[in-house]
Amino acid sequence: MKSIRVKLSSLFICTLLFTGIGVSNAKTPIKIVDLMITHAQILTMNKDKKVYGNGVIIVKDNRILAIGDNAIASKYKAKKTINADGDIAMPGMINLHNHIPMVAFRGLGENGVDNRLFKFFFPLEKKLLTRDLIRIASRQGAMELALSGVTMVADMYYHEDEVAKSVAEVGIRGVLGETVMQFPVVDAPEPYGGFAYAKKYIAEWKNHPLITPAIAPHATYTVTPEWLLKSKKLAEKENIPMLVHITESAGEKKLISERINPIADDKSIIEYLEDMGFLSDKLLAAHVIFLNKKDMQILKKYGVGISHNPKANSRAGTGMSPAWEMYKMNLDIGLGTDGPMSSNQMDIFNVMGYAATVARLPSKDESRFTSYELVDMATMGGARALDMENEIGSLEVGKKADIIIVDTDAANTQPNYDPYATIAFSAYPQNVTHTIVDGKVIVENGKLTTIDIKEHNKQWGPLTQKVAEFAKTLE
Ligand SMILES: [Zn+2]
């Protein structure tokens, strides 16, 4: 089929030359557009689950102008054309939970150390976190995200304005939350100092085409009701998302009761948050492992977004989220990795596999999460969780042009009988050949177009050397 496709596209170029630029042989004016992806197997992820076997996507400015069978390509002349040659084109994936700068510490304390959090995380953060480290590590992480087909990442960390600089430089989208918590931290020496930091950062980054600044009250066991509600008020006033860790460990209710606020025996954490008036559709809750059916209904009622992080949760042995039940109840649930010290990789391909595994293993039910449902969570699910489903998450006319192309000729992606199964279970991040965000090609033939890697490595090398030297003192 490939040779025929090549011939077809050369024929199309000749037609243009003979008929003259701007006029087609059918006398309909040819529209000049910015980008055209031809001969793609397109997974639109729209509500009709439309797939084009040999399709074309037309992009003008930063939006999808048209999408359809490849025949419609003749109505357009593009400044740039990518011949997908039968590869899969699909919406960019959405990683709903991350702490990107922690990539600087990835791979440390991995040999079964006791209390890794106190032995490695906290000393590393205390000693080494600077604005420079956060910006350089964020660039490294955002590059990995872009190369693996993630076009939107939700992140929560410190000095989030530095994270924003690097995510924007690489060219992916970010919902980036500044952390608020009860302890002094690197960017806020006083308790809850992140709140003032967040206000300033939000003012600086609001209305950026790629970055949505957000507020991130760290967790319900590290933030009092007073500050949770202050954060909610700010999120509503600024119309921004709010990112929080919720029910991530089994002992969390006890922890909240002891440290923050007593919770009645007959109330769940979700009910405690509802009674407080904290739940809102602005909320993106990470993990959400320990909850019952009633809690799920409450989260649904408020339109709370959920980041299911099955790889990080199973790796840490914390528990298995009832994600399949939440998905079937039509909650707004998508997929995340958590930080690179918790899940190591940042791509969503392998998270889809974990989502299926953690749903199927305890239930012994192989039908839990079809391939389509996994790809839906990785794309539209993430968009719904962020309340951005009208802009991103599927390939539809009028939506933002966030598109990836996945090679179907690689050893591991052949045969490609079922493209959803190829994406959910066979593909590696390295199979992503192109990543397009906001209409701009930021990864082309597997290479980043936005970052000078040599220049980046001049900063990244010495940084990792410094981390390695300090890490030796922690062993
Ligand atoms: Zn986290």
- 32: CATH: 2.30.40.10
Give per-residue pLDDT as tens, 277-336. 999 999 999 999 999 999 999 999 999 999 999 999 998 889 999 999 999 999 999 999
Exposure string of 376-395, with b = 16+ CB inside 10 Å and e = fewer, is bbbbbbbbbbbebbebbbbb
Q: Are residues 27 and 160 in the same domain?
A: no
Tell me how far the alpha carbon of residue 228 lies from the centroid of ligand 1, in angstroms.
Answer: 17
**Mean pLDDT value of segment 212-218:** 98
Token pair listed for 356: 């299926």
Q: Are residues 262 and 250 in the same domain?
A: yes
Q: For residue 453, is it within any domain?
A: no
Tell me how far the alpha carbon of residue 264 lies from the centroid of ligand 1, in angstroms.
Answer: 26
Tell me how far the alpha carbon of residue 351 lies from the centroid of ligand 1, in angstroms.
Answer: 15
Q: What is the spatial distance between Cα 320 and Cα 352, in angstroms, rounded to a whole number?
A: 14
Q: Are residues 123 and 72 in the same domain?
A: no
Q: For residue 467, is it within any domain?
A: no
51, 43 in Cβ contact below 8 A?
yes
Q: Are residues 312 and 418 in the same domain?
A: no
**Mean pLDDT value of segment 264-273:** 97
Q: Are residues 51 and 150 in the same domain?
A: no
Tell me how far the alpha carbon of residue 276 lies from the centroid of ligand 1, in angstroms.
Answer: 23
Residue 21 confidence (pLDDT): 42
Q: For residue 99, is it within any domain?
A: yes
Give per-residue pLDDT as tens, 281-298. 999 999 999 999 999 999
CATH number of the domain residue 204 falls in: 3.20.20.140
**Mean pLDDT value of segment 132-154:** 98
Q: Are residues 151 and 259 in the same domain?
A: yes
* CA 249 and chain centroid, separation: 22
Residues near ion ligand 1 (Cβ under 5 Å): 338
Tell me how far the alpha carbon of residue 168 lies from the centroid of ligand 1, in angstroms.
Answer: 21
Tell me how far the alpha carbon of residue 178 lies from the centroid of ligand 1, in angstroms.
Answer: 13
Q: For residue 454, is it within any domain?
A: no
List Cβ neighbours of 301 (8 Å cut-off, separation of 6 or more): none
Q: Are residues 84 and 108 in the same domain?
A: no
Q: Are residues 410 and 326 in the same domain?
A: no
**Mean pLDDT value of segment 406-434:** 98
Q: Are residues 266 and 352 in the same domain?
A: yes
Query: Where is 10: in which H helix or E strand?
Result: helix 2-19
What is the pLDDT confidence band of residue 13, given thresholds at 50, 70 and 90?
very low
Q: Are residues 20 and 34 in the same domain?
A: yes
Q: For residue 130, is it within any domain?
A: yes
Token pair listed for 247: 């029910």
> What is the reported pTM?
0.94
Tell me how far the alpha carbon of residue 36 lies from the centroid of ligand 1, in angstroms.
Answer: 37
**Mean pLDDT value of segment 152-172:** 98
Distances (CA, A) of 459 to 137, 163, 170, 442, 453: 9, 16, 16, 21, 10
Tell me how far the alpha carbon of residue 286 lies from the centroid of ligand 1, in angstroms.
Answer: 7
Q: Are residues 119 and 241 in the same domain?
A: yes
Tell me how far the alpha carbon of residue 407 lies from the centroid of ligand 1, in angstroms.
Answer: 31
Tell me how far the alpha carbon of residue 289 lies from the centroid of ligand 1, in angstroms.
Answer: 13
Query: Where is 353: in which H helix or E strand?
Result: helix 349-363
286, 336 in Cβ contact below 8 A?
yes
Looking at the predicted structure, is the pLDDT value of residue 468 above 50? yes
Q: For residue 118, is it within any domain?
A: yes
What's the domain range around 272? 93-385
Cα–Cα–Cα angle for 64, 209, 40, rounded to 5 degrees:
25
Q: For residue 396, is it within any domain?
A: no
Q: Are residues 23 and 137 in the same domain?
A: no
Looking at the predicted structure, is the pLDDT value of residue 175 above 50? yes
**Mean pLDDT value of segment 33-46:** 98
Tell me how far the alpha carbon of residue 19 lies from the centroid of ligand 1, in angstroms.
Answer: 57
Tell me how far the alpha carbon of residue 372 lies from the centroid of ligand 1, in angstroms.
Answer: 26
Count structural domains, the chain.
2
Tell me how far the alpha carbon of residue 245 lies from the centroid of ligand 1, in angstroms.
Answer: 6
Q: For residue 395, is it within any domain?
A: no
Tell me how far the alpha carbon of residue 340 lies from the centroid of ligand 1, in angstroms.
Answer: 10
